[in-house]
Structures are given as C-alpha cells and as structure tokens.
Structure 1
C-alpha cells in the first residue's frame, strides 16, 4: 500500500470514530453542493456571460471552492460509506477503495486545479479563469466517471 493509500485509510479511520457513516456522507455531500453552487456563480459570469462579471464575487467563489478542496474532505471517505453499505444514500462506488492510488491522484489533481482557480480569479484575467474553471470541472468529471454511481 502506498503512502497516499495509507494516509486515506488512517484519515478515514479517524473520521469514522467521530461520525457515523451516514453523517460522513451528508457532510461530504454538503461540501460538494456548496462547491457546485460556487462553480455556478463563476460559470454564470465567466463562461456563460449570463451575469455581469464581478471580479470580487468570482474570486470569493473560487476561494470557497479552494477552501473546501483543501479542508481534508478525504477524511469523510470510509469503506463504510459506499453504495454497498448505504445503498442510494450515497453514490460512492466501492471501487474507490480498491483503487486508492488513483483516487488519491484524482484528489490531488482536484486540489491543484481548485487552488489554481483561486489564484487566477484573484488576478482577474477572465480567459485564465475560464481555463482554470474548465480544469476544475474536468477533475470533478474524472472522479465522477470512475467512482460515482448514477
């Protein structure tokens, strides 16, 4: 087992002692919903142009995404929080824990993309924000495609 895989298991064991599996799922879902809401703010202003661009609001949304990405959400993943144990209360496939190296790589890529989005949002270059936004979305999709049940 690699260092990343060991770290994920250790963190998930610590979180498990504090939260029930259902609470872990609810907490991580709330974090992802909050990130999604903030992604929507950026999309409306920078990608779709549905709203006027407000650099401060875009930067605030990007900072919220990065903060959640860097908050240690990995500790909310446990083998007890997959569809095999909780059915439709979650969409986390059990394969996540059979591929911890890949899950860790995807998670690191997501964190990097979220941090880059916050950085370019603070600078205000809309083209750079649009690219970074796409990178964050791509990292989300990568995890969903591999580890999220429909």
Structure 2
C-alpha cells in the first residue's frame, strides 16, 4: 500500500469522527436548551402558583405578588427564543413541546406576546396595591398561559 491511500484513509477517518462528534454535540445542545427552557417554565409556574395562592388569602402581600408578576413579565419576552430548530420532538430529547411551535412560529410568538402583555398589566396592578384588579388579572394571565398549553404543549 502506498502512503497516499493511507493519508487519504486517515483524512476520511478524521472527517468521519469529527462529523460524529458534531452530531453528538448537537444532541447535547438540544438537551441543554430543553433543560434550560423547562427550568424557566418551572420558574414561571412557581411564580403563577405563588400569586394565585397569595391572592386567595384575606390580606395578599402585594409586594410579593408584584415580584412574581415581574418574574413572568421578564421571562415572557424570551419564550420564543427558547425553541430553536432542532430542540423539538425530533431531537430525541424528552420534551412536551409540540412540533406545532416550529410549524406556526408567528402564532407561537403572538401567544408569548399576549402573556407578556397580561403579566405586565398584573405587575402594574400589584404594584399599585389593587387587590381586586390583580385577582381578575391573574385569571387573564392564566388564560394566556393556557392558550399556549392548549396548542403548543403535549398533555
């Protein structure tokens, strides 16, 4: 065997290994992105629960309600960025995100903007100390969460 074919074989082997490593890295990235977005949604869920529970009391802590609304308002504009291509069900990573997110990005972004708007209203009501307004608004925030869950999230 001459040195040229050996060199060619070594190059081919190196390229094959590099492609395999790249594919493995992509899978790790999909997993990391999915875990990060799930953590963000859990944070949002905890904030929503804290507000709902707090507003059920006879004397809600409106400072705490406002802080939790600020958490939602702060995360909501980022939601659309948490779903890059390749991080859906096709990635092989366990996710409740439906393929509809990537098929209807405009609808998904609009739903996220609705949550952002409703959370901002809730934060303003809570900061103003408006308990009745915050109680009504938290339902609207929950409805905007549900709007996404119904269309874009698996049960």
TM-score calculated relative to the size of structure 1: 0.78
Task: For CA contacts below 8 A with separation 6 or more, give which structure has more relative contact order.
Answer: 1
SS of match in other structure, 1:149: coil
Quick check: 1:68 aligned with 2:68? no
Structure 1 residue runs without a partner (length 5+): 1-16
State the match for 2:61 in structure 1: 54
Q: Distance in 2 between matches of 1:94 and 1:135?
A: 26
Residue of structure 1 aligned with 2:127, choices 102, 116, 122: 122
> Of residues 19, 25, 37 in structure 1, which corresponds to 2:34?
25
Q: Does 1:37 align with 2:18?
A: no
After TM superposition, which residue ranges in structure 1, 4 or more long, deviate above 6 angstroms? none
Structure 2: where are the runs of 5+ without partners? 1-25
Q: Deviations over 1:92-113 (max 9, x none)?
A: 1111111112111111111111
Deviations 1:56-92 (A, max 9, x none): 111111111211223x2322212311123235x1111
Partner of 1:85: 91
Distance 1:28 1:81 in 2: 10
> Number of aligned pairs?
129
